[in-house]
Structure 1
Amino acid sequence: MALLDLLTRLFIDNGYVALFTVLVVCGLGVPIPEDISLVAGGIIAGLGYADLRVMIVVGLAGVLVGDSVMFLVGHRLGPRARRLRWIARVLTPRRYARVQEKFDRYGNRMLFFARFLPGLRAAIFLSAGMTHRVPFWRFVMLDGLAALVSVPLWVWIGYFGAERREWLLRAIREGQGLVIVLALALVAVVGWALWRSARRRTSRLHAHRQRRAQRAAARED
C-alpha cells in the first residue's frame, strides 16, 4: 500500500508533528484517509520510533482539532461558507442534501456516527456548524466519544502489525467493520447506563413522594 508506506516514512522523519498536521488536514476535507494515517502512526510506534500512548494522544488531538475547525468555520460563516471554493468542494449540493436528510432522521446522533462515515464526515461537521444545530461543547463531546473508539483502534492495528505485513493489510480491510461494532457497543453501554441512572432517579423520587405522603397522613391522624 503505497500511501501507507509514504505516510510511515513521513512520520518516521518528522515524528508526532507530522501525524498531527496530516490529521488536521484530513479533518479539513482533504482526501487523505484518516484511518491509514493513524495506522502509519501506530507502525512507527511499533518500530520503536515513537511512544504508543503519546501517539494515541496526538492522534486524538489532531482528529478533534481538524473536526473542530470545520465545525467552527461553518458556525462562524453560516450559509456563506458554501461560497468558499474549498468548502464548495467538500460540501457539494448533493452532499449537503444527504447530510440534511440524515440530520432530520437521526438528529444530533449523526455527530457521533459521522466519524464512521469517511465520505460524509467533513460535510456533516461543517453542516452542523452552519445550521447551528448543536453547541460547540456538545459537538466536541460527541465527536470525542467517537474518536475514543476509532483512534486507539487504528493506532493499535498499526502498532501490532508493524512487522507483520499480511496481518496488517488484512486488519486494515476489516478494521472499519470492527470500529462500527465497537461504536455500537459503546452506544449500547452508554444507553444502558443512562437508562439505569434514570430508573434510579425515578425510584428515589417515588420513594421520597411516598415518605412525604406518609408523613402528611400521620399529621392528619
Structure 2
Amino acid sequence: MDLLERLVTIFAHNGYIAVLIALLLCGAGIPIPEDITLVAGGVIAGLGYANVHVMAVVTIAGVLIGDVAMFGLGHHFGEHMLRWRPIALLMPPRRYAKMQDKFERYGNRLMFFARFLPGMRTAVYITAGATRRVTFMRFFMLDGLAALISVPFWVYLGYFGANRREWLGTWIRRGQSSLWVLAGLVVLGVLALWWYRRARKSQS
C-alpha cells in the first residue's frame, strides 16, 4: 500500500494529467503497476480531488493510448524493435518467440485477456503489432473491450474505498480474481447474445 499512498499524494497535487502520464508510462513498460495506478486515480476522486466519472474516462484514454502506442511501434518497426535496449530488456528474443507461439495458439483471446495479465500486456501488444497478423481495428476493439471491463473496475474500487483503506487493501488483493470472473461473465454474455441472434436468423 506504500506505493498506493505515494501515487495518491502525487495525483492529488497534480490531478488528471498526472494520472494520464503515469498510465502512459505503464503502457511503455515502466515498472509501475497499472492496477495500483488506476486505484490511486479512484482514491483521489473519492477524497474529492477529482470527479470519478471523468477519472474513468481519462484512465480509459490513458490505457488505450499506451496500448495503441506499443502496438503501433511494433507494427511500424517490427522485429527491429528487439534491438532497442529498453525493449530488449523488456522482451529478449526467447520471450518474443514464446509470445509468437502464444499468438499462433490463442490469437484473439490472447489480446483480450492480456489486459488481465499484469506483466504481459506490453509484450503482448508489441508482439501483436510486430507479427502483423492482427489489424489495428481488431486489436483496438479487443483491447478496448477488455479496458472497458478492467479500468472502471479498479477506478471505482479506489473511489468507494478511499476512506476505507483496510477494506480497499483487501479488495485490491482479491481484485485480480474478481476481474477474471467479471471478464468471464462478459464473454459468456457476448457468446449468449451471438447464439441468440444466430438462432433468430435461422428461424426467420
Q: If the length of structure 2 is used for normalisation, what is the TM-score?
A: 0.97
Partner of 2:45: 45
Cα contact 1:42–1:159 (8 A) shared by 2:
yes
Deviation at 1:121, TM superposition (A): 0.8
In our comparison, the structure showing a higher alpha carbon Rg is 1
Deviation at 1:202, TM superposition (A): 2.6
SS in 1 for 2:133: coil
What do residues 7-34 of structure 1 show as CA deviations (whole Å, max 9, x unaligned)?
1011001100010110011011111000
User: How many Å separate the matches in 2 of 1:92 and 1:197?
Assistant: 44
Partner of 2:156: 156
Aligned residue pairs total 204
Partner of 1:58: 58
User: How many Å separate the matches in 1 of 2:30 and 2:39?
Assistant: 18
2:65 counterpart of 1:28: no
Runs of 4 or more off by more than 6 Å in structure 1?
none
SS in 2 for 1:162: coil
Partner of 2:12: 12
In structure 2, give the amino acid aligned to 1:198: R
Give unmatched runs, 5+ long, in structure 1. Answer: 205-221
Q: If the length of structure 1 is used for normalisation, what is the TM-score?
A: 0.90
Partner of 1:100: 100
SS in 1 for 2:188: helix
Identity of counterpart residues, as a percentage? 56
Partner of 1:121: 121
User: How many Å separate the matches in 2 of 1:2 and 1:120?
Assistant: 23
User: How many Å separate the matches in 2 of 1:78 and 1:203?
Assistant: 47
Deviation at 1:85, TM superposition (A): 1.1
Partner of 1:186: 186
* CA RMSD, 1 decimal: 1.0
User: How many Å separate the matches in 1 of 2:95 and 2:158?
Assistant: 31
Deviation at 1:98, TM superposition (A): 2.5
Cα contact 1:8–1:43 (8 A) shared by 2:
yes
Give unmatched runs, 5+ long, in structure 2. Answer: none
Q: How does 1:159-178 map to 2 (within 5 A)?
A: 159-178=159-178
Q: How does 1:65-144 map to 2 (within 5 A)?
A: 65-144=65-144
